[in-house]
Amino acid sequence: MAEPNKEAFLAAWPKCFLIFMGIIEVLATIILILTELGNVAANFWTTNVFAGGWCGILMLAHFIAIFVTVCCAPGPPAGLRAAVVTVIALIACAALISFDAVFIAQPSTCILTPSCATNAASNSTFSYTLQQSFLTLFRTLGPFSSYTQSQAKFLFQTIQIGVGSLCFILCIIYLVIYYVVKNKATNQVASSRPAQPSRFVAPQQQRQSNAYPQSYPTPYGGGQARVPQQPPGVAPWNAGGRY
């Protein structure tokens, strides 16, 4: 398979749009990490797999990969590496959306350990102290003054689903852009190659080129007399020879 032409790849590469997309991903990463911190502080044990944290880290890696394709080392190799990171980030976003959807549907889901319910109810652990401190601070904000622990987690998980869906769409957009530009650059390489002339020679034409001359000059001038062709396998007649 032909490698994509670098000049054609860079000419079609939408740098400004990718920069804009990268800025959105940075903001999405910040929101994912902040909401995950709030989710952990509201209740560490239930409905929690730290999805916002590891998904946010992968989206940050995706932003760095896009930044390299735009500013540091633009070209087909960097675009391919970013596409690989995009597939990983796409899977992470799908997992984030799935986990949060389950957690919203079943707020008491326990995945971390078999004793999640017991640990969550205990008031002698560090998680309980963190939970009470966070809720006290969170309720000082006007719109959230009456929020409970479950309502706070529901808010954070809903935000994560929305931001995760946005990141999922951005990953798909990058994959579409990469493959469209790559195919365009590859097709340009294929169309720029010169066509090879055909070297096929028909058998009849080859036999005629190896036969004796078809004409010879007449002794009286003024034209060419045709020599009768001999059948295949018969030697030509030599008038001056001896037999």
For the stretch 10-39, pLDDT in tens is 999 999 999 999 999 999 999 999 999 999
* Residue 206 vs residue 92, higher pLDDT: 92
- Compute φ and ψ for 69, nearest 5 degrees: -70, -20
Contact 176, 130 (CB under 8 A): no
Q: Does residue 243 carry a pLDDT above 50?
A: no
Average pLDDT, the chain: 83
Report d(CA 216, CA 70) in Å as an integer: 74
The pLDDT of residue 204 is 56
The full set of domain ranges for the chain reads 6-113+121-182
Single-letter amino acid, residue 116 = C
The pLDDT of residue 61 is 96
The pLDDT of residue 120 is 78
Provide CB contacts within 8 A for 190, sequence distance 6+. Answer: 2
Contact 177, 185 (CB under 8 A): no
The percentage of residues in the chain with a pLDDT greater than 90, rounded to a whole number, is: 56
- Position 218 confidence tier, pLDDT thresholds 50, 70, 90: low
- Position 202 confidence tier, pLDDT thresholds 50, 70, 90: low
Q: Identify any residues that bridge with 215 across adjacent strands, giving them in sequence order.
A: 226
3-state secondary structure string across the chain: CCCCCHHHHHHHCCHHHHHHHHHHHHHHHHHHHHHHHHHHHHCCCCCCCCHHHHHHHHHHHHHHHHHHHHHHCCCHHHHHHHHHHHHHHHHHHHHHHHHHHHHHHCCCCCCCCCCHHHHHHCCCCHHHHHHHHHHHHHCCCHHHCCCCHHHHHHHHHHHHHHHHHHHHHHHHHHHHHHHHHHHHHHHHHHHHCCCCCCCCCCHHHHHHHHCCCCEEECCCCCCEEECCCCCCCCCCCCCCCCC
Least Cα distance to 20 among 73, 76, 83, 63 occurs for 63
Which of 37-51, 152-166, 229-243 shows the highest mean pLDDT? 152-166
For the stretch 72-130, pLDDT in tens is 889 999 999 999 999 999 999 999 999 999 999 998 888 888 888 787 778 777 888 88
Contact 120, 45 (CB under 8 A): yes
Mean pLDDT, residues 213-234: 54
Q: What is the pTM of this model?
A: 0.74
End-to-end CA distance of the chain: 66
Q: Does residue 1 carry a pLDDT above 60?
A: no
Q: Identify any residues that bridge with 235 across adjacent strands, giving them in sequence order.
A: none
Contact 42, 134 (CB under 8 A): yes
The pLDDT of residue 223 is 53
Least Cα distance to 127 among 218, 46, 55 occurs for 46
Mean pLDDT, residues 126-154: 91
